[in-house]
Amino acid sequence: MRLLVLLAAPCLIIGTSTAAQDQGAGSDVLPMPDAEAASETSPIVVSAERETETEVLLGSRVPRKQTVKYAGIATNTGTRGLVPQSGMDQGATVRTITTSKCVSDDITMSAAAACIMADAQEAYNAGKFDEAEERFDVIAGNGDFRPEDRLASAQWLYRIADETGDAAQKEYALIQMVGTGVMTPEQEASGRRTLISWALKRKDNLLAQQRLSELDDEGLASPTDLANLAILLRRTGNNNGSQSDSEIMQRAINAAERAGTPVQQGWRDFVKTKVSKAQEHAPF
C-alpha cells in the first residue's frame, strides 16, 4: 500500500533562550527533527471503471373490468393468460443502468471508500480542489471507515492544502492523520512534533503544552520533548497532570542518560531551581 508519508525534516522547538532565561545556563534542549515537509511518496490512487448495462423490464396492461363473459364457469378468474385476445397485452420498458467499478492499488480498501476516493481524485485532477477536499473529508473525518482508509484520505487533504497554501486545512489534515493510530511510531511522533511547532509559532503555549502531553501519553516523547514539556508547564503554570515540571525534567534527564546522550547543565539546574512568577509567565 503506497502511503503519502508527510513527515521528514527539523521541527520548531522551544528555543535555547528558554533555558537561558530559566536557568541562566546554556542551551536547555537538544535539536529536534522538523516534520513539516511533505514526502515525495505517491498517495493511494483509485480509479473508477464505468460499465453500461441494458435491462429490459417486462410488464402488462391489465384491463380494469372482467373480460370473460361466462361467469358461471368455476375456473373463471377474471382474466385469461397472455394469449391472443386475452385482454392483456405485453408491454416492455427498456432502461440503461450505468455502474461504476472502483479499483484501488490498495486491495484492502473498502469498496465504499474506493469509490468516494475515485470521485475525489477525479475532482482534484480537474482542478476542483474544494470539491475534492469535501469528498476526501467524507472518509478522513468519519470513524466508520477503516483507519487505513482515513489515513489515505487525510494524506490527500494534506497534499491539497499544501498545494493551495491553506495552513488551517493543512493542520486539520495532519491532526486527522496522527489520530488514525496506523502511522508508524516515527511518522506519528514527527507529525505530532510538527503540530507542536505550529502551536508555538502562533504563541499558543497552552495548545503546545497539550500536544506535548499527548505525545508523552502515546509513549513517543524523546528526552527533548520531555524537557520542552517541563519548561512549558513551568511557564504556563497550568499543570493538570500527576507530575510536576521538575519531575518531568528529571525524566528527560534519565531518558537522555539511558540513551547515552549528553545532558545539558540547564536541565539539571531546572530541577534544582524555581523561577520567579514573572519568569514563569514570560512569553517564549
Q: What is the pLDDT of residues 88-146, one digit of tens each?
A: 555 445 555 444 567 666 667 888 899 999 999 999 999 999 999 999 999 999 999 99
DSSP label of 263: P
- Residue in 152, 51, 40 with CA at minimum distance from that of residue 107: 152
Regarding pTM above 0.95, the answer is: no
CB distance 104 to 125 below 8 Å: no
pLDDT at 256: 97
56 Cα distance to chain centroid: 44
Name the stretches of the chain with pLDDT < 50.
1-42, 47-48, 50, 52, 54-60, 62-63, 67-68, 70-71, 73, 76, 79-80, 91-92, 97-99, 276-284
User: Phi/psi at 58 (nearest 5 deg)?
Assistant: -90, 145
- Residue 69 makes CB contacts below 8 A (sequence gap 6+) with none
Are residues 177 and 141 in contact, defined by beta-carbon separation less than 8 angstroms?
no
| Residue pair 98/51 in contact by the 8 Å Cβ criterion | yes
Separation CA 134–CA 117 (nearest Å): 11
Which amino acid is present at 124? Y
Cell of 63: 384491463
Average pLDDT along the chain? 75
